[in-house]
Amino acid sequence: MEFKHGLFSADSHAQLDRDAFTSRMSKKKFGDRIPHVIETTDPKLMSKPWDFPVHRWVVNGKVVDNRWPANCPAMMGEGNRERGVQRWEEVPKAAYDPIARLKILDQDGVDGEVLYPNPPIQNATFFQGDAELELACVKAHNDALVAWREASDRYVPLALIPYLSGVQAAVKEVKRARKSGHGGILMVLEPSLAIQGKNDWMGLAGAGNHKGLPHFCDRYWDPLWAACEAEEMPVHWHANGGIMLRGPVWKGFTFAEESTSFLPGAFSLPTQFLPNLLFSGVLDRYPKLKWVWAEIGLGWIQYVLESCDHEWERRRLWTEGIVTRPSEQFSRQIYSMFWFERAGIELRDQFSVDNLMWQTDFPHSTSTYPGTWKYADHVVGEVPQAVRKKLLFENARKLYRL
């Protein structure tokens, strides 16, 4: 692809059209279990009360996001970011139409985007139903999203994988997705927690008939890692990765205050799970497999790596099979992102600048749109030009072979 702006977003979100699933899944087989948009006046299905009918996504008979039918507040103007959209006809076309989106990218000076999900997908899975429904939903999502890649090579779609049909079904979908044009896969952070329902984002698992899944460090997942390595499909985690582990929230918060109180602390989950990955042996078993962590910032990483290195040394963990120093594993295989944070960039020389990528988080509420270059200049304006180019687009271009 052509890089004319010199800025690439390694984390943006593509909204699928409201018929993305109903047009690709069997009505005869799945009926109203298919993801679709409904109209409702039930206040229980609204994050805040509205005095008019709203639209919400339903999967397997359950509303999956009580905030809005499309997560695109950055496109609504500064005064409407927290309101977002409540009805489908309010959704800007550029949220769900790849051709209309290109004009927005050029206006914001962005060359292209890696595409993460938007409603009705919550952190990379459809645990709401049984294995057959999940697999059909995953395939429908992946087929709908690859249409963005077919529309323009400026998009890098990420594929979902099925969990409930066994690891070989996930391997098969990885190979299918790679062939169709996806640039990587998106996973829940910890399947063994997310599947329980009480620990997944927004409590969406809840079907009540799922068997447990192994921890992501378990050898059960080795066929998946092997397939991703062979197909050059990086594994992606996004923000909290579908895991909800947080302290009690004060009931006096407004919607905006509650959201804001959660987001700055979301990195606390990565601080727990990154050491799991570094000490699991997975990275040494699959040294060419790349991992990407989106929307979690940079400032915390150096502390975790220093702590892991210290423990690795003091406990002589190379004698237990962890042959590579944790920080070296990170530099070899793991990528992270930034979009407003200067502190992490000031620490850039403490870990590889080849592993850091810019993101806009478009069109979510924290997005740098419509002033992305203002934020980029603020964060990396004093960084040497050669390093700045790596951070803003060259690292992403190399990782995704653009």
Please indicate whether residue 354 or residue 244 has the higher confidence score (pLDDT).
Answer: 354
Indicate left, alpha or beta for 84 from its phi (over 0: left) and psi (-120 to 50: alpha).
left
pLDDT of residue 196: 72
pLDDT of 80 over the 80 cut: no
How far apart are the C-alpha atoms of 159 and 234, rounded to whole Å? 10
Q: For residues 54 and 56, give the distance between their C-alpha atoms in angstroms, rounded to a whole number.
A: 7
pLDDT tens, position by position, 115-162: 999 999 977 678 888 999 999 999 999 999 999 999 999 999 999 999
Q: Helical H runs in 14-151?
A: 27-30, 93-96, 98-108, 131-151
* Annotation: CATH topology of 8-17+92-399: TIM Barrel (3.20.20)
Does 228 score more than 80 pLDDT?
yes
Minimal CA–CA distance to 351: which of 333, 329, 327, 334?
A: 327
103 CB-contact burial (10 Å; exposed 0-12 / middle 13-18 / buried 19+): exposed
Residue 35 burial by CB count (10 A; 0-12/13-18/19+): exposed, middle or buried?
A: buried
Find tokens 């829940």 and name the residue: 188
Taking the C-alpha atoms of residue 153 and residue 176, their distance in angstroms, rounded to an integer, is 19
Whether 208 has a pLDDT exceeding 50, the answer reads no
pTM for the complete prediction? 0.93
